[in-house]
Amino acid sequence: MNQHVRLCEVGPRDGLQMAKGMMPAADKLRWIRQLASAGLREIEVGSFVSPKLVPQMADTGVVLPEALTIPGLTVCALACNLRGAMAAYEAGAHVLAFPISVSETHSHANVGKGTDAQIAMMASIVEWVRAQSRPMRIDAAVATAFGCSLEGVVPVARVAAVAEAVARTGVDEIALADTVGYAHPAQVRDAVRATQDAIGTTLTKLHLHDTMGLGLANVLAGLNEGIRGFDSCLGGLGGCPFAPGASGNIVTEDLVFMLESMGYQTGVDLPRLLDARAILAQALPEDPLRSGVAAAGIPKTFTSTS
């Protein structure tokens, strides 16, 4: 069994875009450097989207090229359309993350077009990227894969069908995303199995939120189905605009603690990772940071696998 788990830290993108405070580019870079020095090898550093809609991401064009100078770091950026994808490429991103909602209603609310139109957009982007001189990995995130706060239940068969259509565009990897935090472990198992049946190992990752407190239970359900990639966020920053008071992404600190305790290798140094919280606490005083491990301290029984 593969014991290596690939983590992608999405705090500088998914975490910050919901934060009350604005973090200056210099702080973002200090934070990204500290995350990298703790051993995180993949970081989503920002997004190329409308600065009017997401002002926290307006400086991605400044942050990304600096992040590229960090040795060994895979730099990811999110975009929602061809223009954004081109900007990510021009800035030098190693990986493009692109969301495609299974829920039509959420897709319209999020990117202004339906699911099929967004899949067609993905195909255009893949074609454009493949025609460029430099390679860029393309990761699609199948969003609202575990339910939608607007549409409600999202059938597993529909998730697998959308993933299959996305895979046909030629993307490199596909993630299932619990955009609003509704997932539970039995659903994770069912959706992962159905998607694996449809697209095999192109399903590499889960993007989970901890809205209902089930985030790490859902990770465990994914691990049990062979998933070895997860997005997470230092301090569990983030949240859901449709769920006031809800917590955000799964907490990187607690995820690393769980995985390393269980014998999985993340490559992350937990004490160093905890040190990176100080930057966040200072830069975003209004945004409470979560983490059981940070609150209670690393147990004396902990031994790192990495």
Binding residues for its own copies, rule: CB under 8 A, are 147, 149, 152-153, 180-182, 184-187, 210-214, 216-217, 219-221, 224, 240, 243-247, 251, 254, 257-258, 261-263, 290-293, 295-297, 299-301
Signed CA dihedral, 30, 27, 178, 270: sign only: positive
Please tell me the distance from the alpha carbon of residue 131 to that of residue 135, in angstroms, as a whole number. Answer: 9
Token output for 90: 């021009």
Output the smallest distance, CB 52 to its own copies, in A. 27
CA nearest neighbour of 270 among 251, 289, 283, 287: 251
DSSP 11: I
Q: Kindly report the number of other CB atoms within 10 A of residue 168's CB atom.
A: 13
Output the smallest distance, CB 295 to its own copies, in A. 4
What 3-state DSSP class applies to 300? Answer: coil
Output the smallest distance, CB 180 to its own copies, in A. 8
Nearer to its own copies, 26 or 262 (CB): 262
DSSP 4: B
Nearer to its own copies, 224 or 282 (CB): 224
Nearer to its own copies, 53 or 296 (CB): 296
Output the smallest distance, CB 56 to its own copies, in A. 22
Contact 139, 76 (CB under 8 A): yes
Please give the single-letter amino acid code of residue 203: L
Output the smallest distance, CB 228 to its own copies, in A. 15
Longest Cα–Cα distance of the chain, Å, equals 53
CB hemisphere CA count around 128 (13 angstroms): 17
Nearer to its own copies, 29 or 294 (CB): 294
Please tell me the distance from the alpha carbon of residue 173 to that of residue 188, in angstroms, as a whole number. Answer: 18
Nearer to its own copies, 52 or 300 (CB): 300
Please tell me the distance from the alpha carbon of residue 199 to that of residue 174, in angstroms, as a whole number. Answer: 9
The catalytic residue among 76, 80, 148, 240 is 240
Please tell me the distance from the alpha carbon of residue 230 to that of residue 215, in angstroms, as a whole number. Answer: 11
Whether 240 is a known active-site residue: answer yes
Catalytic amino acids? 240
